[in-house]
Amino acid sequence: MKYEALAKDIIKQVGGKENINGLSHCVTRLRFKLKNEAVANTDVLKNMDGIVTVIQSGGQYQVVIGNHVSEVYAQVMTAGGLQEGGSETASGEKMGLFNSFIDMISGVFSPTLGVLAATGMIKGFTALFLTVGLLTKESGTYQILNALGDCLFYFFPIFLGYTSAKKFGANIFIGMAIGATLVYPSFGSITAAGEPLYTLFSGTIFESPVYITFLGIPVILMSYTSSVIPIIISTYIGSKLEAFFRKVTPSVVRTFLVPFFTLLVTVPLALIAIGPISTWAGQLLGQGTLFLYNLSPVIEGLLVGAFWQVFVIFGLHWGLVPIALNNMAVLKSDPILAASFGASFAQTGAVLAIMLRTKNAKLKSLSIPAIISGIFGVTEPAIYGITLPRKKPFILSCVAAAVGGGIVGLMGTKGYILGGLGIFGIPSYISPDGMDKGFYGAIAAIVISFILGFILVFFSGFKDEEAVDSKSGGTARSVLVKQETVGSPLKGQIRALSELTDEAFSTGAMGKGIAIEPLEGKVYSPVDGVLTTLFASGHAIGITSDNGVDILIHVGKDTVKLKGKHFTPRAKQGDTVTKGQLLMEFDVAAIREAGYTLTTPVIISNSGEYLDVIETDQKSIDYRENLLTVMI
């Protein structure tokens, strides 16, 4: 019950369980699918103890927890009475094709990640023990460990049948039954024992011997052990058939007749058409990725290494996972994910440099667990808590990771199993023939990535500043982000920029921000800084805060045409101003009587330089209340 309070707070801040369509988790983050993301209190969640940050990407609302995410997940599921599933975005509309793909892949594969890594580690270390002579293939120890390491990947269709059915909202046992049929052992003995009845597609790359038929229809028997694509597609179609049969079957016999008809249609369809076609597609995909790799393995390695951590931030790395698994099943090895092997070590080296150089005691203390996590391949604490908020260390770590990826490409390193993360992933690169050039390339990649990440950050420096504590209003040393709180220069009703008719503001071309419909004709300084711009017409003011944030306050639309009439400046350009100082007065009634609207955008004109600009969720606001928070 350690995380019970945190779980309840998370449910409350995402909008309550009634706002949750589904929930899953990966190594470090909770992945919510919310009915309406606007309801969630993202600001509050980001500042809660126990939460690293919040990411909105791929149709998911991702709450980054850290290494103990599985425990928090269990408490959230219990506290909210939740079930995984659903396929809608925050707005309730169907996702776009790309978001749907990422959501589906993460939903299908993420539940298997822990066990997949565990069995991969066992297989990798077994291969290592065999290579160095600690075990022989004839020993019982080797055979048991090898079976344990192989079991999940060999019977992968059964496991994916479970997770796919859960993801698609189908009966999980139907999904498992489809997967079990695909890997049924007797099919292998049929192809090994007899002569084919005839051959289909002779003379083409799809040439296939036929050993059995189903109701006279030829069945192309293939090996589906370790396969990925056939079971996912078959389960998806099975989920649609199950929904249809559930609709037309009387409730009194639905319990057994729905699975009966669903399996009776889906399994033959899978063996006759879905399996062969998707297997051929998988083979083409594997050959295609290998073709691109062979064009220039070094360039492929540089690109994957450089952008891997960016992919992880947005969850886009899931798009490469099925390709890697398919390559391992079809080609018995994969060079794609191998290029990412050095990324976590580059990130870890960068954090070590920060820990040694910083004078911030709290940052030092938080760097230690981030380094430990990074060594074992979990980099979210390092990314979100330390390197990304400081920008330069994150970029430099990506440079170091790119070099590691280039080394992997140059040395021809390939992964032979999807094993553990970080140092536990090392045995994954041992070839069935032993430690070859590619294996030593993997070792060189992680060592050089780590050293280079450390050197680049240590000698280039980084921001090690004080940050505004948004909870207390005081100043505190922060390892997450530095925040600039922009107060409201006006009193009035809040409007979204998108509501404005002036496209320069409504499209965000001028920068991120918010608009205010003023109730009074006074403008106060929202920050401490310098009044850098005061238009002669008086209708617009530019202020640069002490932290370098540029703020534009533009009173009304087209009010420049008034040429200063009805506007009275109370400060002059170049003045040093303090937060809450009166800068200008204007005659609300006269300006409106002249035919002008007074909706006033407050813009962070250099918002592109910052991590984010977060608007207030209030509907109305008074002078000096928090209007915008700039994440520096």
**Phi-psi domain of 17 (left: phi exceeds 0; alpha: psi -120 through 50; beta: other):** alpha
Which bin fits 333, alpha (ψ -120 to 50), beta or left (φ > 0)?
beta
Rg (CA), the chain: 29
Q: Which entry of 26, 27, 232, 352 is annotated as an active-site residue?
A: 26
Q: Is 433 exposed, middle or buried (0-12, 13-18, 19+ CB in 10 A)?
A: exposed
Residue 151 annotated in active site: no
Cβ-Cβ contacts under 8 Å for 6 (sequence gap 6 or more):
48, 49, 50, 51, 72, 75
Strand 540-545 versus strand 550-554 pairing type = antiparallel
The rounded distance, in Å, linking the Cα atoms of 109 and 167 is 10
**Helix, strand or coil, per DSSP, at residue 533:** strand
**Whole-number Å distance between alpha carbons of 421 and 446:** 12
Cite the beta strand spans of 346-482 per DSSP E.
466-468, 475-477
CB 328 within 8 A of CB 417: yes
Q: What is the 3-state secondary structure (H, E, C) of 355-382?
A: HHHCCCHHHHHHHHHHHHHHHCCCCHHH
Q: CA 425, CA 304: separation in Å to the nearest integer? A: 17
Structure tokens at 624: 């000096």
CA distances from 186 to 27, 266, 269, 279 (A): 37, 19, 18, 19
Looking at 168-215, list the stretches that DSSP marks H as alpha helix, in order from N- to C-terminal side: 172-182, 185-193
Q: For residues 232 and 108, give the distance between their C-alpha atoms in angstroms, rounded to a whole number.
A: 8
- Cα three-residue angle 63-381-455, rounded to 5 degrees: 145
Are 542 and 574 a contacting pair, CB within 8 Å? no
In whole angstroms, give the CA distance from residue 594 to residue 557.
12
Contact present, 363 and 477 (Cβ < 8 Å): yes
| C-beta atoms surrounding 563 within 10 Å | 11
Bridge partners (DSSP) of residue 50 are: none
Which tokens in the block code for residue 206?
A: 């799809």
Q: In whole angstroms, how far apart are CA 357 and each of 353, 382, 394? A: 6, 16, 16
- For residues 156 and 394, what is the distance between their CA atoms, to the nearest angstrom? 36
Nearest to 24 by CA among 318, 236, 239, 224: 318
Name the residues annotated as catalytic. 26
